[in-house]
Each structure stands twice: as structure tokens, then as C-alpha cells.
Structure 1
Amino acid sequence: MSTITQVFSQDERKPALLSFVSIRNPFFVVISLALVSLLVYQSVFTHQFQIKWDDQWVVFNNYTEDGLAWSNLRDIFTESYKGQYAPLNQLSYTLLYVAAGNNYNPVWFHTFSFIIHTGNIILAFYFVKNLLTHSNSVQPASIYTISYCTAFIMAVHPFVVESVAWMAASKILIYSFFYLLALNSYFKYLQTKNIWWLMVVLTLFILSFGGKEQAVTLPACLLLIDYMANRSFKSTRLWVEKIPFIVLTLIFGYITMLGQKVFGVGVLTVGRSYPFYQNVIFGCYALTEYTVKCLVPVKLNFVYLFPNVVGTPVPLRFWMYPAVIVIALVTLRDMFKNRWVVFTVAFFIIHLAVVLHIIPMSRFSIVADRYAYIASIAVFFLISYYLDKAIRCVKHRNPVIGLFVLYITYLGAYTFERAKLWRDSDVLKKEFFNKLDQQALENEQKLKVQPNNQIRK
């Protein structure tokens, strides 16, 4: 408790011995976050590939094995693979395969994922720090507390485990790495007004899309940053500078849909799909689930199946979720007078928009932990924002810090255990089916229906 109090302390007259243990010290920030990440993810270095859970085709393929031949590099960047266009992600597999002596060595692959994830945690720290600094509405001391706590929660939160421990989900890590670099570079542009920084952001945008299609949300996020940085939306320059990003977003969106069409899925194909009103219900449910699991992660799963197949009614209990969203907005309307609450909600929705089923995508899971990787930063930020407010009340300082320690201890322990479940396909499948059986039993008890054992077939 005393160590955390010292880290959060704003007293500038600290002993020299504690000068390093400060969230104002960049070396302490990097090293401490890296060590925390290593502590909770130490098991991933002994993990095998998930050869029964998509690694067998996402990682193991001809693009990986054909190495760095020019013809293979051309194919990686010009072809979609089974409905997915993620050339930088595939290139990372190829480079790791070659570096390991033309061998699928899981240590190399999982170490790479861990390093990228740790880099993303550090980039999240600087993103929040830059955001708070450019807003000119937060005390300097609070900037460091909020930024560090946001990154710390990200380091220990179990909702991001899937992206780190599952090799086939490395697309999320790679797109997020370039995405967060782009956001931090955009703050450099806002600070200097140097057009070259905007070109850097544009380049990073392209690289981020090369990791995963979710990068198409970047222009909307840049506009949100403009709002928080108090830029005038009447400015012609603000909109002109976004034109290249909007054009690229349209191109990227078409590339994504075209790649899915080639594989026979997506919005450009003709086939049976859920009606729009059901997609709205699914979207409200998914948004609720992502929010709750970011705040209090419980009963995390590997697949969250749709509640009904195409052409059948949605279970009655799912109809309550649109009402839940409306009630939450009405109940918490006073909180929206706070610009940081507006930012949190907007950032969260922007980065989930393409996976909330409003736009039909080729997905069989109604919710997926990995899709909230970037969006979750907003929730972690809001937790940290109100934590900072609370610890500045002398009366409540120690109890609040104590509760926060318990919270992150719970998160870290959950992450440590959940990471181990991704050891290999046998462990994962066993845990997955155990959860399916448990869920079926709960549904039987609550809804008095027979469990759907056909899921396992």
C-alpha cells in the first residue's frame, strides 16, 4: 500500500531514493509496465500453437512457408486469404518463421506477441498523457496518475488476454500498435502544425489497416481528438486535412468487403442473413457485454455464440438490451455534461462500431474479447479518471487506493490464470466445452428449456 501511495504522491519533495519510483519518470513507466505485463503473461512463452483453433490455417500456410521470395511478398500484399486481408500480420508470421530457421517455433511467435502487446500498453500511456495535455483541462499532476493507471489496468486486464495468448489474434496487436502510434503522432501534428507529422499519421494508418480492417475507425478517432483538443469544427483546415484519411477509409472498406466476397461471405454476397431489427438487438447486447466485461470481467469465454440461427426469432430476454441502453443513457444523462465522459463513450463506440453487427460481417460470434482491445482503453481511462478524483480527497485517499489495489489484484490473478488456458488446443477445447455445458445448464434452469447439445457437434 505504501509503495502505491508513493507512486501516486504528488509531493515534489521526495527522497532521492524514491525519485525513480515515480510515474513522472519515463524509465519507471516503461520498466514497471513491462514487468507487470511479464508477471501476468509469463506462461505464454511455453504455449504451443492452437492447431485446432485457427492457428492451423492462419499461421500455418504457404505464405508463411514460402519465405521472403519476391513472388511470395507480392502475393502477401495483393491477395486476400480466406476472406481476410491482413498483409502485415501475415508478413510477421513469415519473418518469424524465417528467423526461427524456417521452423514453426512457438516461442518466437508468442514472444513477438508479448513484445507488441507490451509496446501497446506503453503507447496507451502516452496516448492518454498526450490527450490530457492537449485538452488543457486537467491538472499536470493528474495527467500522470490517470495515464499510468489506464496503462496499468490494460496490462493486467483479462479481457485482452485473447489477443495476446492466441497467435491467430495477433492481427489485433499489430493493427493496434500502428494505430496507437498514429494517434500519438497526431498529437505531434497538433503541437507543431507540421504537415510532415500528418503524413506520418497517414502512413501509420495504412500500416494499421495492413494489420486488421478495424483500423478504418481512425478518421473518426482523429475528429474526436480534435474535439477534445478544442479545435474549431468550423475550420476549413481541420476538414481538408481529413480528406486523405476519409478516402483511404472508403478504399479500405471496399478492399475488406471485396476480400470477403471472394471467400463467399460479407455484405457483397447474396445469402441468408439476420434482419436489421435483429442486428440492432445484437448490437445493443454486444455493446452492453463489452462495457460490463471491461468494468468487471466475469465469466469470460472463448466464443460467445449467437442466441438464434438465421430465420428464427431472437430469445425474448435479448429484447431488453435496447431498453437497457436507453435507460442507461437517460439515467446517466447528467454525467454527459462532463467532456471526459463524452470522450469515453464516443471512443468506446467508435472502436466497436464495425463489430456491433449493425453492418453485417462474416462472424459466428456475437461478442469476441479481442475486438475490444482498443475500445477498452476508454473504459480503463474513465476508471482512472474517477480514481484520480477520489484519491485527491484526503478523507477517502487510503480507502480508495486500497480498493484499487484489490481491483487490480483481482484483474491480474484472472489474467494470469486465463493466459494459462491458451497453452494448447487440448486445454482450450476442454475449458471451452466445460463452459458450454455450464452455460447450457444455466439456460435450462433459468429458461426451463433443454440445453442445445447440438452446439458441440
Structure 2
Amino acid sequence: MRSEACICLILITAVLLVYWQVGDHEFVNYDDNVYITDNAQVQKGLTDKGIIWAFTTSHTGNWHPLTWISHMVDCELYGLNPKGHHLTNVLLHMANAILLFVVLRWMTGAVWRSGLVAALFALHPLHVESVAWAAERKDVLSTFFWLLTMVAYVHYVHRPGGKRYLLILVTFSLGLMAKPMLVTLPFVLLLLDYWPLNRFQPRTTTDSVVDQPLGFKSSGDGKSPILKAVMEKAVLFVMSLLSCFVTLVAQQKAGAVSTLEVVPFTLRISNALVSFVAYMGKMFWPLELAVFYPHPGSELQIWKPAAAGLFLLIISAVALWITHRYRYVLVGWLWYLGTLVPVIGLVQVGEQAMADRYTYVPLIGLFIVVVWGFADLVKGWRSRRWVVSVTAAVMLLALMAGSWLQVGYWKDSNRLFEHALDVTNNNYVAHYALGNALASQGDLVGSVSHYNKALKINPRFAEAHNNLGNALALQGNLTGAITHYTKALKINPDHAEAHRNLAVGLDRQGEHQAALHHYEEALRISPNDAQSHNNLGVALAEQGRLKEAVAHFTEALRIDPNFKEAERNLELS
């Protein structure tokens, strides 16, 4: 127990050393606004209406009520002080590292190997994105319940029973309500049945304690232990399928899923193969990490997916070939491949080619392979303890340094996206986000420059056209602003904000009837937009249609009771 306590203390200390700096970080303008700073429901804190909203909304293209509730709790406790929100993520990440150590130690009996896997998980730079980004609460929160489900599962396998199985269902359900990434967990539990739980074959007297610490045996009822293991998880697989369905509906409703016309299936397969290998490369050499990696599209050279596919086949074949001696290799490899499938891009959600945050759980599989493999490699060496200790210390210190630097890039939006532009090419999203940051700081010249750079790379970027229009309008270039609002709507006719902004511009030019049409379109697309209701009310009042104007001012105040401008307009009507 002294060793276990020592490892937990090391994990806690190391995580705090790397991540404590987030207490001085700001929110960034990339999803933090959608989840927290511009989200009126979340900012109200924990309320009855807020909880109902969390369970019924598909805002952001996801159904993850527990994630919404966790953000509400943070707003209840800390308001909009980013320090509290960031430190909650750090605490969850710390808890995840300890849980990973505990469950691996319980399953394998290997204290220091389990501790090293947990340390790699806790300190790897690829995991910084999931922790330092407030909006990625869903990563650390869902993984917390992923690991609790593993703990509950080992508890159940040790002594099966209805209550213990129910605990598995509860923790798994909570995880799915934090992020649907958990849909692959039943598959991972099957892998654990093979190793280290060894439930697919009877225990023999030669089995080591590390290979089979809990003494599980296949039953003597004539049924295949593999079939029994699958059937045992039938409810979990059904829950995963339901979660996939709900997630797909939510993402399609939000327009987040790219069609096959936009991203053909052959391109999706090609990018997926390259991404599998690229993530492995970044695991071993975690440099030039960015918050957004542009999708290569048709520019992806054919040799890259071909080489990546061959590489993956070779590793898979080797893992199968040596599985009779080193079962952890196949388990870790399939853990890595399997848990990446939902986010590898076969269903293309968003415009990224890959994302560091997607590796938060999958890399655990590769960490197991590396740690257990290295332990077996040096097993017969006389100086193995010295070699392992020095290697582990050097590696972890290097990872800590890399993660500490990577955390620093998340201090604010400017630093985050300037770094992304430094380490990637043709990154139109980084130009766009940096333009937003500069605009919010009053640097309209800089923001216009970055919006134009984003549009030079991707002329069909509706959001960039809309925000460039906003910047031009603030510069007094109303004609240029209207041009870009119009371009945004040609690309995306359902862009509610572009309709509203175009209406404002047209109204200023005296085209009142056209302005009314675009306000109405904005409200058709986004009926709960208080600003559009208020603006439409003003436009109607200017035409003498006071009764209709009052109705829209009233609706704006119903949506946002603290909307002072709408309140003032209502009083004047």
C-alpha cells in the first residue's frame, strides 16, 4: 500500500506542476463562448429550467446533459471567473489518472507498470487540449465515468451480482450523458476479458498472479466463455447503439455532419488511415501540436493512406502473431484502434482532419503496450531496475516539460491561434479565430487581415464572411459589409446571424422592406434570438407598426429578461 500511495502522490504533484498555470488562463473564443461565456442557460447556474434544458437540447450538435450541468455548477460556484472552470478540468484529469492507476493495478497486480501508464496518461502533451480547454469538459468528465465503469466492471467480475451489474449500467449511462465517446467502452471491456482478466480460458496452476490476479474461470455449462462475455454486455451494446443514434440525429440537426458530396467516403477512409498513424507519431514525438488541423481534402497524396494502411496491417499482423505470448499487445492495439473509430472521420463532423483531444482515451491502449513491452524487453537484464528507472524518469520529465509548454499556449485566444498558425499550413480556422480575438480587442485592421487570409484559403467559409462583414461595418464600410453578409448567405442560406446583420445593413441604407425580410428569416431559423426580435421590433416601430413592434420587444424580454435595450424600446413604444 505504501507504493500505491507514493504513486498517487507523484501523479497528483506532477499534474499540479504542469497544469496549475491554467488558473491564470482566460476563456478562449473557440467553443468556450458557445459552452460558457455566451450561453445564457449555463450562466444562470444550476436551476430547474437549466437542468430540463440540459436534457432536452441538442445545442452544439451533441446530447450531453451531464456536461451542460457540470458547466452550470461551475457558473454557480465561480460565475464567469475562468480560474474555477479550468481548475475543475484539472481536478477531473487528476482523478482520471489515479483511477486509471487503481483499475490497472487491480486487474494486473503490476504496481509500477500501472503507475507508469497512469503517469504517461497524466503528463502527455497530446492530452493538454482536453484539460486546458474549458469547453472540453466533456472529455475529462466522460473519461471519469469511463474509468469508474471499468472499476465497477472489475468489481462485478470478481463477484457477479445484480447490484454490481446495475452499478456498471449507472456509471456507463452517466458517461454517455457526458460524451458519446463511451460507445466503444463495451468493446474495451471485452478486450479486458481477454487480458488481463483472462476470462476466456480456465486458470491453470502455471498462471501468474500478474496474468490473472482475480482467479476468473470459464464456467462448466458448455457455453463458450467468449459468447457469455458478449451476451453479458448486451445491454451495454444496446445503450451504445442508442447513444450513436441520438448523437447522429443531434449532429445532423445542427448541420455538423458533412455530406458525401462534400467529403467523399474514399477521402474519409484515406484521412482516417493517415490519422491513425499520425496520432501514433505525435504520441512518440509530441511537437507542433495545434488546436485545429485543416483537412487536406483532395490534396491528400495517395501514397500517404496507402503507406499508412500497410503500416497498420503490419502492426495488426504482428500483434496477432505474438498474442499467445504477449496478449497485452493485441489488447492495447485494438483498444487504440477501436476507441478512435467514432472520431476518426468516417462520419465527418466538423472540418478538422484530426484533433489532439480525440486521443485522450485511445492512447491508454498504446501506453499499456509500451510499458508492458519495455518491462518484458529488459526482464532478463541484470541492471533492469536502473535502466527502467532512468528511462522512465527522463521520459516523464520530458513529457512534463512538453506539456507545461503546451499548456502555456492555451493562456488566451491570441497565443493559442498564433501558435496554431506557426505549426500548421493553410489553417483558415486559426486565421478566423485570431481575427475574432483581434476584433474583440478593437484591432479591426488586424481582424480584417486575418479574415481575408482565412477566405483566401477557404472562400466558402460563411462564418468568416459574416465576421468580416461585421469588422467592415465597424470601419464604416457598409457596402463591403453587405457584400460579405450576402456571400455568407449564398454559402449558407440558414445562417441566422448573417440574415440579422444583413438586415441591419440594409436598414441603414434605407432598404427597410428588404431588412424586414431578413429579420424574419433570422427568426425563422433561430426563433429564440432575442437580438433579432429587438431589431425587428425597432424596424417595425420605424414603420409605425407599433403593435407588432411591442410583440417582438416583449418576446425579446421573455427570452432574455436582462435585455436592457429591449426593455427601453418597449417603454418607448
Flag whether TM exceeds 0.5 (same fold): yes
Q: Are the equivalent residues in 1 in contact too, given 2:427–2:454 (CA < 8 A)?
A: no
C-alpha distance in 1 between matches for 2:32 and 2:147: 26
Give the structure 2 partner of residue 307 of structure 1.
296
Q: For the Cα contact (< 8 Å) 2:289–2:423, is it kept in 1?
A: no
Q: Which residue of 2 aligns with 1:46?
A: 24
Residues 142-157 of structure 1: pairs in structure 2 closer than 5 A:
143-157=110-124
Distance 2:390 2:15 in 1: 21
Q: Please tell me the root mean square deviation across aligned C-alpha atoms, in Å.
A: 2.4
Answer yes or no: is 1:245 the counterpart of 2:236: yes
Query: Structure 1 residues 242-251 or 118-127, which shifts more?
Result: 242-251
Name the CA distance, whole Å, in 2 between partners of 1:67 and 1:82: 19
Q: 1:262 — aligned with what?
A: 253
Query: Counterpart in 2 of 1:290?
Result: 279
Q: Give the conservation status (yes or no) of the 8 Å contact 2:289–2:420.
A: no
Aligned residue for 2:468? none
Question: Which residues in structure 2 correspond to 1:305-384 (within 5 Å)?
Answer: 305-308=294-297, 312=298, 314-319=300-305, 320-330=307-317, 334-337=321-324, 338-358=326-346, 360-384=347-371
Deviation, 1:122, is 0.4
2:328 touches 2:368 (CA, 8 Å); kept in 1? no
Which residue of 1 is the match for residue 45 of structure 2?
67
Q: Is the 8 A contact 1:97 1:104 kept in 2?
A: yes
Offset from partner CA, 1:224-257 (integer Å, 9 cap, x none): 1222223248246534431211221111111101
Residue 98 of structure 1 corresponds to which residue in structure 2? Answer: 76
Distance 1:40 1:69, change over 3 A: closer
Q: Distance in 2 between matches of 1:240 and 1:324?
A: 33
Matched to 1:302, the amino acid is: V
Kept in 2: contact 1:209–1:216 (CA 8 A): yes
- Residues 114-156 of structure 1, C-alpha deviation per residue, up to 9 Å, x if partnerless? 00000000011012113314xxxxxxxxx01110111111222
Partner residue in 2 for 1:195: 162
> Which secondary structure does the structure 1 equivalent of 2:61 belong to?
coil
- 1:366 is paired with a residue whose SS is strand
In the other structure, the counterpart of 1:425 is 413
Name the SS of the counterpart of 2:353 in structure 1: strand
Match in the other structure for 1:454: 456
Q: How far, CA to CA, are the matches of 2:270 and 2:33 in structure 1?
A: 34
Matching residue of 1:9 = none
Counterpart of 2:91 in structure 1 is 115
Which stretch of structure 1 is more off in the superposition, 111-120 or 422-431? 422-431
The letter of the residue matching 2:332 is: T
Q: Secondary structure at the match of 1:352?
A: helix
Contact 1:295 1:379 in 2 (8 A): no
**Distance in 1, Cα, partners of 2:8 & 2:388:** 25
| TM-score, normalised relative to structure 2 | 0.67
Q: CA deviation at 1:334?
A: 4.2
Indicate the residue corresponding to 1:220 in structure 2.
Answer: 187
Query: SS of the residue aligned with 2:111?
Result: helix
CA spacing shift, 1:191–1:439, aligned 2, 3 Å: same
Greater Cα offset, 66-75 or 214-223:
66-75
1:173 and 2:140 equivalent?
yes
Q: 1:252 is aligned with what amino acid?
A: S
The equivalent residue for 1:79 is: 57
Per-residue CA distance 1:7-65 (angstroms, 9 max, x = gap): xxxxxxxxxxxxx8x53x3x323222100111111211111101x21111122202212
Supply the distance in 2 between the matched residues of 1:105 and 1:391 (Cα, whole angstroms).
49
Give 1:391 shift.
5.1
Change (3 A) 1:332 1:453: farther
How many residue pairs are counted as aligned between the two chains? 407
Contact 1:47 1:423 in 2 (8 A): yes
1:446 aligns with none
Match of 2:104 in 1: 128
Distance 1:336 1:453 in 2: 51
Distance 1:455 1:128 in 2: 46
Q: What letter matches 1:296 in structure 2? A: W
Per the alignment, residue 224 of structure 2 pairs with: 234
Q: Secondary structure at the match of 1:230?
A: coil
Q: 1:298 deviation in Å? A: 2.5
Q: Distance in 2 between matches of 1:374 and 1:421?
A: 22
**Aligned residue in 1 for 2:267:** 278
When Rg is computed on C-alpha atoms for both structures, the one with the higher figure is 2
If asked which structure has higher relative contact order (CA below 8 Å, sep 6+), I would say: 1
CA distance in 1, matches of 2:333, 2:156: 25
Residue 53 of structure 1 aligns to a residue whose secondary structure is: coil
Shift of 1:401: 2.9
Q: Which residue of 28, 51, 63 maps to 2:6?
A: 28
CA–CA separation in structure 2 for the residues paired with 1:325 and 1:227: 22
Is 1:164–2:131 an aligned residue pair? Answer: yes
SS, match of residue 41 in structure 1: helix
Q: Name which of 164, 178, 201 aligns with 1:211.
A: 178
Which residue of structure 2 aligns with residue 12 of structure 1? Answer: none
**Structure 1 contact 202–245 (Cα < 8 Å) conserved:** yes
Greater shift, 426-435 or 386-395, is seen at 386-395
Q: Which amino acid aligns with 2:36?
A: V
SS at match of 2:400: helix
Share of identical aligned residues, percent?
24
Q: How far 1:72 sits from its partner (Å)?
A: 1.9
- Pick from 56, 62, 66: which aligns with 2:33? 56
For residue 33 of structure 2, what is the amino acid of its counterpart? Answer: Q
- Gapped regions of structure 1 (runs ≥ 5): 1-19, 134-142, 441-450
Q: Give, as a single letter, the amino acid of the residue that structure 2 aligns with 1:104.
A: L
**3-state DSSP of counterpart to 2:138:** helix
Looking at structure 1, the residues matched to 21 and 46 of structure 2 have their Cα atoms a distance apart, in angstroms, of: 31
Contact 2:268 2:348 in 1 (8 A): no
Residues 272-307 of structure 1: CA deviation (Å, up to 9, x unaligned): 342222222111111101122223322222211111
Paired residue secondary structure (1:351): helix
SS at match of 2:141: helix
For residues 109 and 363 of structure 1, the distance between their equivalents in structure 2, rounded to whole angstroms, comes to: 25
